[in-house]
A and B are shown apart, each in its own frame.
Chain A
């Protein structure tokens, strides 16, 4: 049985994580401990090479995802053996590509950021790969059990990645908050899963879907109340993970307190994986005509979530003084746009799903780039945090300011960047589904959002730091620069040739 090739995106991350763990532990630290200091970690002084190793593993995962995608999951009938546990179809491979890409960006950014800010801890990189593996499993899971295991693998690694800077009260606090709310959300989802199992007798998503579709028929024994409660609990749990308002309270704090590469990973991969499984859960288990109808199904709930999420997040984001916190709120707002795409699957399932997939890809490259540019603009003791810190960067470090501008324009949805087409497809799918007012609200929100993105650009180019104020000094790191060049290339490439990712997403759904 030839499962090695079709499963290679998962195998390479899984075994890569174990290998990197051993490499990290059995290597010799490059830094000597001064007398009386804490014992130096085995990974100390080796962040650069470990980051490179992690990036290679994750990029290999991304490349293999594309390779398996090109060969076509249908070419490997052995994959059916893994169902219903893992559904490694076109969508899962597309998501696996996006997740590995996000993980690789994080690895490169961390390779520059961690030594610069003296968080020289090698554990970060194995944890990062394990978190990516969890995210891949989560997005490919076809069973509540795998969903839970993938979710926890991802979350546990991320909790540790946040609390990496043990001496910093802010980092530990961020880890504590995210841990408490994350485990609470996981427990809610788990109870929801138990209720779904009780009502339908299935834990595989397709089996649940068949049982749910039978509700209302005379011979059906499925308890509709239990199903509704189970779905609600699962939605709440996933809304926590994608940080949709009103389940977003932890997001700004956790994003701000975490080391910036971890923030990048949370904004990029965790959100993508949670949206991937949300889409799969809704369309597989609750994809029958009644559950997807406006009158008796989940679309109006998600539409309401989308509106509240976009509006609240954009209004608060404009009032932030910290750019990192502003980007945190911006990531909440983007979750709102993705929710519009999910609602659009109601009447045009293929276009809706494809728009969500493309949006997650464009959001991943733009957000990773924006956080990366923020990392590049700061150095030890002079981290770029607020708008004031960024004043005059355009003159002092034109290259950093230029890429930052590019990523901000992409996040704002300006042509010809990737972000523009992400939004375009989402809104087009919404119009196809006759969700006109939702589209209008989404567009209005994009205008509001443009304000705070432009404010950063104005700070960088048209303002000078106040005399005597501490200025952020850009750091030098080949890894961070490499990540930014890759992200900028992808943002422009997707912006100039948007048909390719769309065709890939559509092909994943139709099997073509």
Chain B
């Protein structure tokens, strides 16, 4: 039975081996000439500056939260879309109601200013 999985294991082994070759090969074969400039953390050409744990503005969380909530609703639209023909008009009306509720929520969020990036 297990031999059915042999190709899969082979693929894993090859993938892992290839990674190792690239990673360690680069380290072993490459030439290293460290200098202070090279050892600095890279930050788009600027000198690095500021605290390590940067404080993020709360609007990132707000946007992320809204994204997650609206994004996940596709979980209901996807099965409906695959069975679109079979579900007929009843399914269509149901989905329209659902999307209608989502639109109301979107209008609410918009009017409340949660989508404004400024201020």
Contacts and interface: CB of A to CB of B under 8 A. Distances in A.
Interface in A1-55: 18, 21-22, 25-26, 39, 42
Interface string B25-50: 00000000000000000000000000
Interface stretch (B3-11, B12-20, B101-109): B101-109
Nearest to B104: A18
Contact of A39 (B101, B107, B111, B113): B113
Interface in A273-319: none
B111 A25 contact: yes
Contact of A42 (B101, B104, B112, B119): B112
Nearest to B113: A39
Contacts of B112: 25, 42
A117 B35 CA distance: 64
A22 B107 contact: yes
Nearest to A24: B108
A56 B113 CA distance: 28
Interface residues of A, number: 7
A39 B101 CA distance: 27
Interface string B84-106: 00000000000000000100110
A26 B112 CA distance: 9
A1 to B, nearest CB: 10
Contacts of B104: 18, 21-22
Contacts of A42: 111-112
A21 B104 CA distance: 8
A446 to B, nearest CB: 45
A21 B113 CA distance: 14
B40 to A, nearest CB: 41
Contacts of B107: 22, 25
Interface in B68-98: none
A4 to B, nearest CB: 13
Contacts of B113: 39
A18 B97 CA distance: 12
B35 to A, nearest CB: 51
Contacts of A22: 104, 107-108
Nearest to B112: A25
A18 B111 contact: no
A22 B100 CA distance: 13
B94 to A, nearest CB: 13
Contacts of A25: 107-108, 111-112
Nearest to B109: A25
A163 to B, nearest CB: 14
A225 to B, nearest CB: 30
A251 B90 CA distance: 43
A26 B119 CA distance: 20
Nearest to A41: B112
A42 B119 CA distance: 16
Given A21-B104, A42-B112, 14 more contacts: A18-B101, A18-B104, A21-B105, A21-B108, A22-B104, A22-B107, A22-B108, A25-B107, A25-B108, A25-B111, A25-B112, A26-B111, A39-B113, A39-B119
List 6 tightest A-B contacts by C-beta distance, closest first. Answer: A25-B111, A25-B108, A18-B104, A21-B108, A25-B112, A26-B111
14 contacts: A18-B104, A21-B104, A21-B105, A21-B108, A22-B107, A22-B108, A25-B107, A25-B108, A25-B112, A26-B111, A39-B113, A39-B119, A42-B111, A42-B112
